[in-house]
Amino acid sequence: MANYKDIIGAFRDKPGGIIEAYHALQKEFNYIPKPAIAEAAKVFGVSEAQAYGVATFYSYLSTEPRGKYIIRVCESAPCHIAGADQVVKAIEKELGIKTGETTADGKFTFELTECIGQCQETPVITINSVPYVGITPDDIPAVLDKCR
Amino acid sequence: MGKEMRIVLRNADKIDPNSIDDYIKAGGYRALEKALGMERKALIEEVKKANLRGRGGAGFNAGMKWSFVPPAEVTYVVCNLDEGEPGTYKDRTIVQKDPHTLLEGMAICGHAINSQKGYIYCRGEYPYVVEHLNRAIDQARRKGVLGNFDIEVRMGGGAYVCGEETALIESIEGHRGEPRFKPPFPGVAGLWAEPTVVNNVETFANLPEILNRGSEWFKAIGAASYPGTKVLTLTGDVVNRVAIEVPTDTTIRQVIYEFGGGIRNGKKFKAVQIGGTSGGFIPESLLDTPIDFDSMRGIGATLGTGAVLVMDETRDIVDIVTRIAKFFEHESCGKCNPCREGTFRNFEIMTKINRGMAAVQDVEKMSLLCKVMQKACLCGLGQAAPGPIVTTLQHFRHEYERKLLA
């Protein structure tokens, strides 16, 4: 696993690159570890509070450890009217966790999200940012099985 | 099915989006060459004359925006690909099907404002679009078609407010994406305090054809006050959920019935929300309105991003608006009080109404709050957030009344 200092260092010369560095960290660790925020503050010349403020402003970034597979369900209006609630229930049942939680084996984290721009076939879920469109509650076991 | 008119999507599904050679063979980068041969002032004048108005939602004349940029050593071109407006997938569609039309449009703008650097701010939820764009930019660099103009892609982090141009600029600078006070406008002091033009993907993507065919040609298409075409994305209870590009004098009814194929499952129409989740809800009686910016504003609705969310007779308007109120409560950045508190209270009251626990006084309070927000919020997010509540109270009041306590 890459060192967080090296990951951040790669963006040192990019003006405003702290968010790019956070994306790279999240790609590696699935979240932004606390020591990495302190390091980013140092590298980009801002206070730790500011670096933390940036990391927590954006809903796509997480400062809490998450599972290997991050499942997100879109709950914006087009997905809402297409039955996103039922998909949420099916995922909660299948994984045995509520939204915002991670399974005990560290494999799955379940989150809600706003629109992810795939509204041509709703409802939509993403697994590690890859969209799956037109999902029904019945599809959930098979879709999640692919990750098991 | 009605006939589309494709300017922005002229190459879609006709060329290989991964091949710059395909784009060049289809006439690509000729408009940029033409632009580079023009005086900057003449180029801006040509775009201004075409009356190309911003396709991101604000509808401001693009050439006029460019003309505000003062002579400066460093200026920036920024493309808004944040596309967080629910129901919208047009910018993704444009870029996935024809990335070079965006790059060419940005480079044309680059010449007009004497800029050597462009940024594309792409939403974090589209990592595959970032890869796709970087591939296209690499090809363009290797071919040398962009001249001394370079483009870099930056990723957003899932904040709806970053679609607002000053919040977007804050985010590129590596800050929390909170909107700035205006003035100064970005054209004068934008990215790193330098003059900056921020335009939407679709606005840039119109430029190559405007240069190729001239402003007179463009001006004659669609509605006189908002000429050209608009890419619309159809969602919800409509048969064809697709992206279409139509002249701006097309009516909402044509969009839903001719292009969208009507309502799914033989059901009846109830409402359509256009422009994204802050757009107004439109009833049957107003469906013959053309989709252009000013006509939509005339009926208290918006064209916005061009998202078209169709709802059939079975849909619960109050429930949908409650969901939308939750969206704004979540996406309000918290910088200004009217939006932070207003979106919170609106969601609270809508939830109360939706659960059948509210009285008519609650609706009155919420209406007043909406008025305050429309006037007092710092940025477009807060000012537009009450739109769905206000328009549904106007056109679908009976649905609220049904849920109120006696």
Q: How many CB pairs under 8 A join A and B?
A: 129
The residues, any chain, with a CB within 8 Å of residue B68's CB and separated by 6 or more, are B185, B187, B188
Q: What is the mean pLDDT of each run of 10 residues along chain B (406 residues)?
A: 90 98 98 98 98 94 98 97 96 98 98 98 96 98 96 97 97 98 97 98 98 98 98 98 98 98 97 97 98 97 97 98 98 97 98 98 98 97 97 98 94
The pLDDT assigned to B200 comes to 98
Same domain, A88 and A140: yes
Residue A119 lies in a domain: yes
The pLDDT assigned to A148 comes to 86
Same domain, A73 and A134: yes
Residue A63 lies in a domain: no
Same domain, A19 and A87: no
Q: Which of A20, A120, A129 sits opposite B125 (nearest CB)?
A: A129
Residue A62 lies in a domain: no
The pLDDT assigned to B3 comes to 85
Contact A102, A141 (CB under 8 A): no
A108–B contact, CB cutoff 8 A: no
Tell the residue number behind the tokens 């629910």, with chain if given: B86
The pLDDT assigned to B1 comes to 58
- Closest B-chain CA to A51: B175
A78-93, pLDDT tens digit by residue?
Answer: 999 999 999 999 999 9
The pLDDT assigned to B88 comes to 97
A121–B contact, CB cutoff 8 A: yes
Residue A44 lies in a domain: yes
Q: How many domains does chain A have?
A: 2
Among the listed residues B148, B158, B186, the one whose alpha carbon sits nearest the alpha carbon of residue B170: B186
Q: Which of B159, B173, B309 sits opposite A57 (nearest CB)?
A: B159
The pLDDT assigned to A52 comes to 98
In chain A, positions 6-65, which contact chain B (CB-CB < 8 Å)?
15-20, 22-23, 44, 50, 53-54, 57-61
Residue A77 lies in a domain: yes
Same domain, A23 and A77: no
Residue A25 lies in a domain: yes
A13-56, pLDDT tens digit by residue?
Answer: 999 999 999 999 999 999 999 999 999 999 999 999 999 999 99
Q: Give the pair of three-digit tokens for residue B376.
A: 């007092």
The pLDDT assigned to A2 comes to 77
Domain limit, last residue, from A35, A57, A79: A57
Continuous H helices in chain A:
4-9, 18-29, 34-44, 48-57, 77-81, 84-95, 140-145
Q: Give the pair of three-digit tokens for residue B100.
A: 């070079």
A102–B contact, CB cutoff 8 A: no
Long-range contacts, stretch A140-144, CB < 8 angstroms, 24+ apart: A140/A87, A140/A90, A140/A91, A140/A94, A141/A94, A144/A71, A144/A91, A144/A94, A144/A95, A144/A108
Residue A33 lies in a domain: yes
- Distance of alpha carbon A115 from alpha carbon A113, whole angstroms: 7
Instruction: Identify the domain containing residue A52 by its residue range.
Output: 4-57
Same domain, A52 and A77: no
Alpha-carbon gap: B324 to the closest alpha carbon of chain A (Å): 6
Name the pLDDT band for A1 (thresholds 50, 70, 90): low
Residue A76 lies in a domain: yes
Distances in Å between the Cα of B346 and the Cα atoms of B230, B285, B365, B386 are 32, 27, 9, 8
Distances in Å between the Cα of B202 and the Cα atoms of B98, B106, B364 are 11, 11, 39
Test B123 with A117 for CB contact under 8 angstroms. yes
Same domain, A28 and A49: yes
The pLDDT assigned to B361 comes to 97
Helix (H), strand (E) at residue B336:
none
B342-380, pLDDT tens digit by residue?
Answer: 999 999 999 999 999 999 999 999 999 999 999 999 999
ipTM confidence: 0.96
Q: What is the three-class DSSP state of B339?
A: helix
Question: How many percent of chain A have pLDDT more than 70?
Answer: 99
Domains recognised in chain B with CATH numbers: 20-220 (3.40.50.11540), 223-312 (3.10.20.600), 317-401 (1.20.1440.230)
